[in-house]
Every structure is written in C-alpha cells, then in structure tokens.
Chain A
Amino acid sequence: MDMYNGGPEVSIRALKKDSMKFVLSNTDLSVANALRRIMIAEVPTMAIDMVEIETNSTVLTDEFIAHRLGMIPLSSFDVDRIQYTRDCTCTLYCPNCSVELTLHVKVNVDYDDMNDPTIDKTRQVTSLDLVTSDESVKPVSDDRAHPILIVKMRPGQELKLKCVAKKGVAKEHAKWSPVYGVSFEYDPYNKLRHSHYWIEEDEKLEWGVSANAVEEAPIDPNEPFDYNAKPDRYYMEVETSGCMKPEDVALRAMTIMQDKLGGLQIKLDDEFKEDTQRWGY
C-alpha cells in the first residue's frame, strides 16, 4: 500500500549549538514540508509582548522601542512550564503565563567631559540592560561582546520600562519563531525535473550541483526519464535564534505533528459515534 515501506529514516550530519543538518529519507515530500512548516510557525517560544514605558526621552518613539524589544530572542528551553495567557485563569498576565523584564538606563551628564569631542559619550542600550525576573527566560546572548542593540542614548536621556514576555507561536507573530532559517533540498541532480533552470547556453556549466549531490548517484544519460519517480531524501537544515537547541526545535515539531494528527483522529472517531447509521458501522 505504501511506497515508503518501513517508515522514515533520519541521519544527523551536523549538530552545533544553534544549527543542525540532517537527512530525512523514505518519506513523502508532504511530511518533510510539514516538519519544516511546523518548525517555523508552530513551535512555541517566549517573546516580549507588552511594554509599559514609564520614561522615554530617547530619540526613538515608544512604539519603535516596543517593537525592537519584541524582536529580541529570549531563551525558551523551559517554555513548557509556562501557559498561554488565553488558557490562564488570570485576566491580563500572571507568573503562570508570563515573565517580567525591566530596563532602566539613565545617562548622567558629566560636565568635565561634555565639551571634549575626543570622548564618545554615546551610551548603547542593549539586551544586556534587560533585567529578568526568571533566569530561564532572558535575552539570548552567549557573546557579551555583541549583545543586541535597542537604542543609543546621549547624556541626559533616560529610558525606563517594564516588559511582559509571553508564550506564543509564530503563526501569531514571527517574533515567536524559534528558527532563523529552515531549509530542505531534495533531488540535487534534478532527476525528477521539478526545477526548471533559467539558462543562457549550458545548464551544467551555469548551474553547479549542490553539496548534497555527493550523497546521490549522478544522472545516467542512457537512463530514460522515470515519470513515476517520487522524491524520498530530504537534506534538512535548521538554524535557530538561540532560544532553544536545534534538536529540541525538531523534536518539539514532531510532537506537535503527532498531536495534530492524533487530535483529528479523535474527532473522526467522535463523528463515527455520533452517526453510526450514516456510514454503516
């Protein structure tokens, strides 16, 4: 019945702190694509969703800063512990469904330095200035030398605010996506002819094969085109924002896929029970 007998195979090719490569094989293109789509849009993470600004005398407007804060990736490995606010018993937010982060930066005026053009008086406000109330949810930055810039301030300016980070998925807003890039390639030699290359003179000269081509046999020019052939090897690449490990993003995506399918199966069974006559059961 199934052309992909024996079920899917997985082979991990590279595993780094915030990226991974693996080969998914013996499964349909739709499964590989579902995995990609779920990793991008349906794996929950934490992101700043509400900002209460008390003082802002910087050059950026309140909403500009609020937007920038929302885009900062927050460590989300412990996101399962936190509830969605819409499922929570509270009205606005509470410790069960949110994490508070505060920021207060005031650049003092030093009159001795004020008129010395050789001294850089710009204060860079970065993700390192955010103080979290929960150590498991904090801005992602392994590299303290390169934190995420929020706004630049000059002496005399002040920024004071409170952020509320919430759990969410990227279907609602892209800031909740755990990944910066997910891609997959199949059929590097284009044996299935799913790709049509734009060429000037010679396809082989103008379009080199990808690095994944070493895993597959090249085209035999004497072999006729197999119009029944289907793809069955997918070279997947995942790069995360740093909010969780790439392998966890993939595993969570697979769990979500299981829940989606399982949930529908339960609903289908309920339909049977409601109307057994119609289907002759």
Chain B
Amino acid sequence: MNAPDRFELFVLPDGVKKLTITPDTKIPNAATFKVEKEDHTLANMLRMQLLEDPKVLFAGYKMPHPLDHYFILKVQTTPDTTPAHVLGNALTELIQNVGSMKNKFEMELIRAKSEAQKIDNGEGEDLSSHQVDMDF
C-alpha cells in the first residue's frame, strides 16, 4: 500500500539534478560527487577508472542506503588538477573503451555468423581455432 514505486530506482524526478559537485571544505583538491538514480554498475566502473589515473590520490564510492537510489563518489587529486577534471577524463576514457568494445563485438559477430554460414554450406574450413556452434 505504502510501498515505494519501483521506477524510483531509475527515473529522475523533475527538478532533481543528476549530478551535484560539493567541494571538500577540509581536504585540498577533494570533492564529493552525488549521482542520482545510478547504482554500482556506474559507480564501480568510475571508481576503477579513476584509480588508474596517477593524479588521483583517492577515489571511493558508496551507496548510503538501499532505499535511496543514488551514490556518492569521493575524489582527491594532486594540486595540478581538479576532481571534476579527472572525472571528466575517466568518463572520456570509459566511453572510448565501451565504444571500442562494441565495435569489436560487432566485428566478431560478422565473423561468427559467416563461419556458421560456411558450416551450413558444407565448405571445408578449419574451425579448430575458432569453433562456433550455431543452430538457427
């Protein structure tokens, strides 16, 4: 009866900001990012990518409560950059990686399907290294 709507997990309500940046008042070059309506899927990916950056001194995330659908990401950097800047770099890098993953997958799909075609046509191809079994 008073159960929260399940779509609250992923629908951003009107007037709510997807991303909020709060600079840390005590630690230099540190900030907290609050991302609404996202979970471990995005948060963990961002954290791991940030940690690859040598200018990142700290990167960690948490989902404060299972009924609140946001995560916070804390980042501290070296003085020659800013948390927002390294987050931007991490995002660029991830977008590039996912894009190339998608391209590789599409290319592999063409190869896998053409090999399955050859099996159907009974053409003698050596498939020992790339065995693809299909049943369309």
Contacts and interface: CB of A to CB of B under 8 A. Distances in A.
B27 interface: no
Given A22-B108, A30-B47, A31-B45, A15 B82 contact: no
Given A10-B108, A251-B106, A27 B101 contact: yes
Given A12-B108, A171-B10, A1 B48 contact: no
B92 A265 contact: yes
Given A12-B132, A86-B7, A251-B105, 8 more contacts: A1-B53, A8-B100, A10-B104, A13-B131, A15-B133, A172-B10, A265-B88, A268-B87
10 contacts: A7-B96, A9-B104, A15-B132, A31-B94, A38-B41, A254-B101, A258-B102, A268-B87, A271-B84, A272-B84
A11 B108 contact: yes
B118 interface: no
**Interface range for B:** 35 or more
B interface majority secondary structure: helix
Nearest to A16: B135
Contact of A171 (B6, B23, B40, B132): B6
A242 B87 CA distance: 39
A17 B109 CA distance: 13
Interface in B20-37: 21, 23, 35
Interface centre among A27, A261, A279 (most CB of B within 10 A): A261
A279 B81 CA distance: 9
A34 B45 contact: yes
A279 B95 contact: no
B113 interface: yes
Q: 8 closest pairs, A vs B, by CB?
A: A7-B100, A8-B101, A30-B48, A267-B19, A10-B104, A254-B102, A172-B6, A12-B112
B78 interface: no
A10 B6 contact: no
Contacts of A13: 131-132
Contacts of B108: 10-12, 22
A14 B45 contact: no
A250 B105 contact: yes
